[in-house]
């Protein structure tokens, strides 16, 4: 495995840094620094996407024929690393990072021509309709029905934990078009306009007080059959293809390293550097971050050679989310009493905070370094659940690696 950057790679790294210096405005940097969720709020995400789209860099993994930059694996890694270090707010992954690659891999030319440019521009903002009551980790047991009626399907069902459904205008859903003995069969991947009559969105308020997640109800929603991606009844194959992009191939270590640096600075400010127990846990987290980065580089090397990451996708998802949770715990401990106040007006939540009225004078308690720690801690409890629970990921690793 050769991990040395070529002269071309170093030149590209310089180009990325110059772009970030110019386009990542102080306001965007501040919002990125104050984020409490894995998602930026809609307005922040859209502002950053417009700047990226103008440069042709909104979809780093897309080929040039579909509007992407056509970067190889190394350039995509450099981009992800530099944006993470710079503190750029992330784009919503549901469109460009998930549905887009699915349409590139499984969509018709007509679907690609219509949806992909609108994803890039931000005209279409997507959400993901997978989880249902009782069908989360066991996704194949989903019950939302789609019954054929001429050129349409009539859809009825309930999706939940649907991120940003309140601001999305399109949703990609797994629906049941037939009932088969094998539950993975009879599932279809369907694109639904959120403005269609019969679609109702209701908020779910998270532990941190943010409105990011939602219930989405479908009552006799009429959807054209032309909106099926892949074949009717073979949506499970499309869904597994999408999960490669949801679970693996990401770059987490640089962002985790940056957060660990902030924890060290907080520990110094709070006089914790002489606390051997605390600093030992910080050091252990640092070792884990470096180990994760080594795995990410190894996967990058495999992808560069045309190999699939396999079970390493599950490994990276599990390690990165649990390590992120460890960092939130260390941050709360380092913040001490300053972690107590609830003050979403001081941070950049992933969505609105219903019922909260900020103080008239804008007063914020405690030092800035502590403002985000509790909301981030509460948000990160979901990290080991979304994109397939870590228990499911361990099952995948046990089967694929250990053969059990």
Phi, psi dihedrals of residue 223, rounded to the nearest 5°: -130, 130
Class of domain 7-121: mainly alpha
User: 7-121 with 126-236: one CATH topology?
Assistant: no
pLDDT attached to residue 144: 97
Q: Which DSSP category does 14 fall into?
A: H
- Give pLDDT tens digits for 325-378: 999 999 999 999 999 999 999 999 999 999 999 999 999 999 999 999 999 999
Catalytic residue selected from 246, 270, 296, 312: 246
- Give pLDDT tens digits for 166-199: 999 999 999 999 998 888 999 999 999 999 999 9
**Cα separation of 229 and 188, whole Å?**
8
- In the chain, domain spans: 7-121, 126-236, 245-356+363-402
Look at residue 243 and tell me whether its pLDDT is greater than 80.
no
Helix residue spans in 24-89 (DSSP H): 26-33, 42-55, 73-86
Name the band, by pLDDT with cuts 50, 70 and 90, for residue 153: very high
Look at residue 306 and tell me whether its pLDDT is greater than 80.
no
**Cα separation of 93 and 364, whole Å?**
32
Q: Where does 126-236 sit in CATH, by number?
A: 2.40.110.10
Q: Who's near 251: CB < 8 A, 6+ residues apart?
A: 77, 80, 81, 84, 296
- Give pLDDT tens digits for 369-388: 999 999 999 999 988 988 77
**Residue 30 is among the residues annotated as catalytic for this protein:** no
**Cα separation of 228 and 302, whole Å?**
32
Q: Where does 245-356+363-402 sit in CATH, by number?
A: 1.20.140.10
pTM (predicted TM-score):
0.90
Name the band, by pLDDT with cuts 50, 70 and 90, for residue 134: confident
Mean pLDDT of the chain: 92
């Amino acid at each position: 495995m050769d991990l040395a950057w070529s002269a071309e790679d170093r030149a590209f790294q310089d180009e990325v840094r110059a772009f970030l210096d110019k386009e990542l405005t102080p306001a965007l940097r501040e919002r990125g620094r104050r984020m409490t969720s894995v998602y930026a709020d809609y307005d922040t995400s859209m502002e950053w996407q417009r700047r990226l789209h103008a440069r042709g860099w909104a979809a780093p993994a897309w080929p040039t024929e579909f509007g992407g930059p056509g970067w190889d694996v190394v350039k995509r890694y450099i981009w992800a690393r530099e944006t993470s270090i710079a503190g750029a707010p992330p784009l919503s992954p549901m469109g460009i990072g998930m549905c887009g690659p699915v349409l590139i891999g499984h969509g018709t030319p007509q679907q690609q021509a219509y949806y992909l440019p609108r994803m890039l521009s931000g005209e279409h903002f997507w959400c993901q309709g997978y989880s249902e009551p009782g069908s989360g980790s066991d996704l194949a047991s989903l019950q939302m029905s789609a019954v054929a009626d001429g050129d349409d399907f009539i859809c009825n069902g309930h999706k939940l934990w649907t991120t940003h459904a309140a601001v999305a205008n399109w949703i990609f859903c797994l629906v049941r078009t037939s009932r088969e003995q094998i539950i993975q069969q009879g599932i279809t991947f369907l694109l639904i306009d959120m403005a269609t009559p019969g679609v109702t969105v209701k908020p779910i308020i998270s532990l941190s007080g943010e409105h990011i997640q939602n219930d989405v109800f479908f009552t006799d929603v009429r959807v054209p059959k032309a909106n099926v991606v892949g074949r009717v009844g073979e949506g499970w194959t499309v869904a597994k293809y999408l999960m490669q992009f949801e679970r693996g191939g990401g770059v987490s270590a640089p962002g985790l390293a940056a957060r660990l640096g902030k924890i060290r600075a907080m520990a110094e400010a709070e006089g914790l550097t002489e606390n051997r127990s605390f600093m030992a846990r910080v050091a252990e987290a640092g070792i884990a971050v470096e180990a994760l980065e080594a795995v990410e580089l190894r996967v990058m090397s495999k992808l560069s050679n045309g190999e699939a990451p396999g079970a390493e996708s599950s490994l990276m998802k599990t390690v990165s989310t649990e390590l992120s949770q460890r960092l939130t715990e260390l941050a709360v401990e380092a913040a001490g009493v300053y972690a107590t106040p609830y003050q979403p007006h001081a941070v950049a939540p992933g969505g609105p905070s219903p019922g909260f009225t900020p103080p008239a004078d804008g007063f914020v308690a405690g030092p800035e370094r502590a403002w985000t720690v509790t909301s981030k801690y509460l948000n990160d409890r979901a990290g080991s659940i979304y994109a397939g629970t870590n228990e499911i990921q361990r099952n995948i690793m046990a089967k694929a690696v250990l053969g059990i």
